[in-house]
């Protein structure tokens, strides 16, 4: 008699953090829906989309509102006023194996989710991996291309993290990594920022690896005014302290 072993179904939550993106949020949600549909088409996977509206304006709420009746969506309206807190809140609401983040005005390439998960499942390594797309196309105010660097590549140079960030926050990984290492709140008023850079450093400190899923991409909207990065730079913020390069771990 043959015994069939059923592997438990892989599941992923696509988390979209919205604030005051207005009409732009529609494009982001649509790109998430496209990527989620593609993932379902390409692999045996259960998906859901979590939208966190953090201190959102009416236009943004209405952009998300059209998905209220869709069973795949979970929509939360909160007043945290911080992107890190908003991401941590979404993680608390997750019951899936994987999580992927999307910010309210950016777009995912349609192959992003399934290729990253496929890579993760194929890679037989001891520690969990945090996945990033190969290429970021920055568009709108300033067009350019930003290639992510794989920690296993020759281009990776850990000291670079002392002065700059290798990866955006739009990563994909097992939910438990985000639970173990939550994002730290930005204190831009007090000159502390770069929550994504800080998170990347802390995950490396804990021994997690950042890798690149080849042939995947994101489209990052570079807004002329109002972006978190421009606010951070305007306030001459420094990176929120972490211990990656502290004497004990250096």
Partner 1 sequence: MEVKSKYISPLFDLDYFSIKYNTDVNLLPIEVIYNFLNKEDQFYFKPNAVFDPIYYIQNNPECDINPFLHFLITEKSKKSNPSLLFDTKYYYLKYNLESYPFSALHHYFSIGFRKNRNPNPLFDNQYVISRYYFSEAENPFSSYLSDNDKGINQTCEHFDGEFFKAKNIDKIKYDKSKTPLENFFLNCTNKSLVTCRKIDPALYIIDNPDVTINPTLHYILNNRKPKISNLISQPIRRQIKSASQIENNLSDRIEEYLMMHSYSQPFISPAFRLIRKIIEQIGQLKPSCIILSQRSDDTELFRTFTIRLKAVLEAYKLTEYLVLIPDDNRISHSCTFTHSTFTVDMHELEPKLKNKHKVKVLNNLLMSLKPRLFINLNTDFGKKYIVDFGRGIANYSSILDIDLIRTDKQKEKPQCKYLALSFKKYYELGLTHNVCQNLESDYQYDSAVLNRIEEKLRMGLDIILSEN
157 contacts partner 1 (rule: CB under 8 A): yes
42 binds partner 1 (CB under 8 A): no
Is residue 51 within the footprint of partner 1 (CB under 8 A)? no
Give the span between the Cα atoms of 211 and 146, in whole angstroms: 15
Q: Which of 49, 85, 107, 130 binds partner 1 (CB under 8 A)?
A: 107
Give whole-number Cα distances, 215 to 82, 116, 118, in Å: 32, 10, 12
Q: Which stretch binds partner 1 (CB under 8 A): 52-60, 69-77, 102-110, 169-177?
A: 102-110
Radius of gyration of the chain (CA): 18
Look at the block and give the residue holding tokens 């590549």: 153
Distance CA 230, CA 27 (A): 22
Pick one of 8, 79, 124, 143: the residue that binds partner 1 (CB under 8 A): 143
Nearest to 18 by CA among 10, 7, 29: 29
> Considering the complex, what minimum distance in angstroms separates the CB of residue 89 from partner 1?
26
Query: Measured on CA atoms in the order 161, 162, 165, 171, is the torsion positive or negative?
Result: positive
Site stretch for partner 1 (CB under 8 A), options 23-31, 56-64, 91-99, 204-212: 23-31
Adjacent-strand bridge partners of 174:
98
* CA–CA distance, 105 with 157 (Å, rounded to integer): 30
Q: Compare residues 77 and 215 and give the one whose CB is closer to partner 1.
A: 215
Identify which range of 11-19, 87-95, 105-113, 187-195 contacts partner 1 by CB under 8 A.
105-113
Q: By CB under 8 A, tell whether 233 contacts partner 1.
A: yes
Map residue 247 onto helix, strand or coil: coil
Least distance to partner 1, CB of residue 202, Å: 18
Residues that bind partner 1 (CB under 8 A): 27, 30-31, 34, 107, 109-111, 134-135, 137, 139, 143-147, 149, 153-155, 157, 159-160, 162-164, 215-217, 219, 233, 245
């Amino acid at each position: 008699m043959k015994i069939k072993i059923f592997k438990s179904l892989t599941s992923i939550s696509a988390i979209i953090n919205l604030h005051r993106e207005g009409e732009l949020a529609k494009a982001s949600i649509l790109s998430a829906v496209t990527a989620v549909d593609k993932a379902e088409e390409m692999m045996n996977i259960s998906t859901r989309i979590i939208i966190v509206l953090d201190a959102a304006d009416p236009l943004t709420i209405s952009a998300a509102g059209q998905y209220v009746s869709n069973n795949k969506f979970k929509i939360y309206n909160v007043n945290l006023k911080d992107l890190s807190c908003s991401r941590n809140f979404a993680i608390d609401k997750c019951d899936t194996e994987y999580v992927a983040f999307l910010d309210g005005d950016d777009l995912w390439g349609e192959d992003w989710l399934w290729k990253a998960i496929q890579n993760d499942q194929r890679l037989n390594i001891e520690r969990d991996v945090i996945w990033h797309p190969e290429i970021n196309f920055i568009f709108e105010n300033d067009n350019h291309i930003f290639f992510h660097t794989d920690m296993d590549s020759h281009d990776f140079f850990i000291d670079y993290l002392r002065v700059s960030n290798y990866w955006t926050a739009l990563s994909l990984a097992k939910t438990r990594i985000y639970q173990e290492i939550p994002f730290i709140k930005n204190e831009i008023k007090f000159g502390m920022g770069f929550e994504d850079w800080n998170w990347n450093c802390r995950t490396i400190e804990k021994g997690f690896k950042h890798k690149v899923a080849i042939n995947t991409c994101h489209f990052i909207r570079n807004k002329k005014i109002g972006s978190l990065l421009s606010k951070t730079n305007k306030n001459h913020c420094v990176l929120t302290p972490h211990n990656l390069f502290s004497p004990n771990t250096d």
